[in-house]
Amino acid sequence: MAKFVFGPVPSRRLGFSLGVDIIPRKYCNFDCIYCQVGKTANKEVTRKPFFEIEEVAKEVVEELHRAERTDFVTFSGSGEPTLNLNIRSMIHEIKQRVDTPVAVITNGSLLSLEEVRNDIREADVVLPSLDAASEDIFRLINRPHPSIGVASIIEGLKRLREDYHGLIWLEIMMIKGMNDDPDEVEKLRDIVTRLGVDKIHLNTVTRPPSETTAGRMENYDLEKLQVFFGGTCEVISSFKKNGVHAEKLKWAEMLMSILRRRSLTVNDIAKITGVSLPQIEEALRVMEAEGRIEADFFGDDVYYSAID
């Protein structure tokens, strides 16, 4: 089973994305109420190497050669990827060996540090997030390490735009009853307009969150906000591409590596693996009986995730 990579998984923003997880599980400087990985076990701000550069790069290249289709290699997963001191070298090694574009999904908490901005400058796309403009709402939603404030995140995003020549796609996670107040939304719009990012992605809670207080917004409300934020803004839609048809003998193994990092529906699994729904449902029943996975109802969907 792969140690660092998972997928390719269907990403609503990046197509078929081969995830690269370079952070120990639940090691992060945030403990967001909407996180699909679960509660943060180690809320840290100290950057560490964690894993060997060559070991990660080798596994990424091997998985890319096996996969039928990959649109992006994406640094994301169990925690904030910029907490890994080796991320710069990992990105560089991967880009030296393959042509697949590289993306970094980050909470933006460390972008105020010049060393971090330099570490991700070789990425083709950086996807930071900004869920609030006000400090109290930021702390309510993202529950950061005490040393992190929303002002430093905004400053970091500003500096990133000045220093970085790739694409910046900013995600705003809209939480019903928390950051959807008109005053807060207007503050957010004013900030992101000044940042000059290439795209604004409006998202809401679509998978089982770590806290039940993280409420999902309706599509029509998001569409109104899309108009309010302007022409570079889009609501992240559901994934619609065809499956990658993983090797039949390996799809269940690959599935477990993904379920350790994100929850999936039966339809998600079908898109990733190309395996028939009856086969998937039978395999999930066996995994549940073995105590390896659990089902969670969220909205009208059933999501499956690995049991720690």
Do 172 and 300 sit in the same domain of this protein? no
pLDDT-based confidence at residue 245 (cuts at 50, 70, 90): very low
Do 174 and 249 sit in the same domain of this protein? no
| pLDDT computed for residue 246 by the predictor | 47
Do 45 and 90 sit in the same domain of this protein? yes
Q: Which domain holds residue 293?
A: 244-308
Do 56 and 110 sit in the same domain of this protein? yes
90-137: per-residue pLDDT in tens?
Answer: 999 999 999 999 999 999 999 999 999 999 999 999 999 999 999 999
Do 277 and 206 sit in the same domain of this protein? no
Model confidence at 267: pLDDT above 90:
no
Domain boundary among 241, 276, 297: 241
Do 288 and 275 sit in the same domain of this protein? yes
Query: From CA 130, how far away is CA 112, in angstroms rounded?
Result: 14
| CA triple 185-189-194, angle to 5 deg | 155
146-188: per-residue pLDDT in tens?
Answer: 999 999 999 999 999 999 999 999 999 999 999 999 999 999 9
Specify the CATH number for the domain of residue 253. Answer: 1.10.10.10
pLDDT-based confidence at residue 262 (cuts at 50, 70, 90): confident
Do 218 and 235 sit in the same domain of this protein? yes
The b/e string for 230-257 (b: 16+ C-beta within 10 A; e otherwise) is eeebbbeeebeeebbebeeeebbebbeb
Based on the structure, what is the number of domains in the chain?
A: 2
Domain boundary among 241, 262, 280: 241
| pLDDT computed for residue 9 by the predictor | 83
Do 248 and 236 sit in the same domain of this protein? no
The pLDDT of 220-232, averaged and rounded, is 93
Percent of the chain with pLDDT over 90: 60
Do 146 and 73 sit in the same domain of this protein? yes
